[in-house]
Structure 1
Amino acid sequence: MLAILRTVREDLQAARGQDPAARSNAENALVYSGLHAIWSHRVAHRMWAVPALRGPARVLAQLTRFLTGIEIHPGATIGRRFFIDHGMGVVIGETAEIGDDVMLYHGVTLGGRSLLKEKRHPTLGNRVTVGAGAKILGPVVVGDDSAIGANAVVTHDVPADSIATGIPATVRSRRQHEPLVDPTTFIDPAMYI
């Protein structure tokens, strides 16, 4: 029981740490669909470990999908302090593995590219952030401390401390220093209206 309470507290702390709009643990516990999906998944994942409970685990996952808009297969392995911000449309496949302190935004897919019964979904390391609408497909590995940009499509491994952006995603070192751009040099889109 203490382990469950510790996990709930950690998940609530992750929500407060990752979302500047988070106001209180009580409010977050009531209204954050990402937290509801994670907590339901933690129960379904334990059920999935018992072969006789795999059917009910899938039913629980589908009920959670109906209520939250977040689909997490009960077979997916998820680490501590996982947070889904604005979760609608998130899909996490059966063989996905997610490390600790990972954050996903809405519309993220951790999907497969094969119908074979093998490891077919991504593995995300610790402290990975995945932007809105990103698709990470296949048994790729995203290394620790990496970021996947919004709407990126990742089909190859991403080394640790990297940033992957674009379609298909290109990868660069997170530590790479780029010259700063003066924002006053940008063209104002309003001039075309």
Structure 2
Amino acid sequence: MFKSLREDISSVFDRDPAARNALEVLLCYPGLHALWIYRIAHWFWVRKCFLAGRFISHLGRFLTGIEIHPGARIGRKFFIDHGMGVVIGETAEIGDNVTLYHGVTLGGVTWDKVKRHPTLGDNVVVGSGAKVLGPFTVGSGARIGSNSVVVKEVPENATVVGIPGRTVLSQKREEGRVDLEHGNLPDPEARAISCLFDQLRELERKYALLAREHEELKNVVEASRRDVAT
């Protein structure tokens, strides 16, 4: 148990440059508190004490603003930064070394009592406000941009942005390192608009060239007419 607690605290220092000392982390990090409360609730849940598990989970939500269903499965070195508004559903599965930012939802899309929440592989980073909805897999090493809405499977090491989420980059990152630069992601809409502007400038250049040629031809024709008239 103490080894697990030390590992949790160490993961905070690895991924939050604002962390100064262990006491501050113990007292002031709601993501860490939510994780520990979840583990207690999960202990009751797997022993079929469902009411106790849900009640402890509810207390954790009240205290931290983070809702983790006790039926979810969470791996090692899980880190929620800030955390307010994070929701993790009952059948969600989270691998090792995963990072979530505030406002993230791992939600379901059906009322049936089946696997209805996503599975996150190892080393996944989910940016603030992102929604991952449905019983599919987000591959290991994937990054999901802030405020994206992901509704289908994500390949390993892919970067997904937009509504609905689209894969804009697939690149393996350094092994064992958590990539926190979730704000430094490609913007496919900006790229598309930039391409349209490039095409517009090219059309303007061609139009100007045609206009000059037309003016030159007009001058030649007028000069020819004057020569014939004289």
TM-score category (smaller protein): 0.7 to 0.9
Identity %, equivalent residues: 55
Q: How far apart in 1 are the matches of 2:171 and 2:69?
A: 34
The higher-RCO structure (CA 8 Å, 6+ apart) is: 1
Residue-by-residue CA offset, 1:114-168 (whole Å, 9 max, x unaligned)? 0000000000000000000000001011000010000000000000010010000
Q: Quick one: which amino acid aligns to residue 36 of structure 1?
A: H
SS in structure 2 of the partner of residue 132 of structure 1: coil
Residue number in structure 2 paired with 1:55? 51
Deviation at 1:50, TM superposition (A): 0.9
Q: Which residue of 1 aligns with 2:195?
A: none
Letter in 2 for 1:64: G
Aligned residue in 2 for 1:189: none
Post-superposition offset of 1:172 = 2.9
What amino acid does structure 2 have at the position aligned with 1:9? R
Report the alpha carbon displacement of residue 46 of structure 1 after superposing the two structures with TM.
1.2
| 2:29 equivalent among 23, 32, 42 | 32
- Where does 1:90-101 land on structure 2 (aligned, <5 Å)? 90-101=86-97
Q: What's the counterpart of residue 188 of structure 1? A: none
Residue by residue over 1:22-81, the C-alpha shift from the partner in whole angstroms, topping out at 9 and shown as x without a partner, is 111111011100000000101111110111x11011000000000000000000000000
Superposed CA deviations along residues 79-112 of structure 1, whole A, max 9, x for unmatched, are 0000000100000000000000000000000000
Give the alignment's TM-score, normalised by structure 2. Answer: 0.74
- 1:48-127 aligned within 5 A: 48-51=45-48, 53-127=49-123
What secondary structure, in the 3-state scheme, does the structure 2 residue paired with 1:164 have? Answer: strand
CA RMSD of aligned residues (A): 1.2
Q: Secondary structure at the match of 1:151?
A: coil
The TM-score with structure 1 as length reference comes to 0.88
Distance across 1 between alignment mates of 2:171 and 2:59:
42
Amino acid at match of 1:78: I
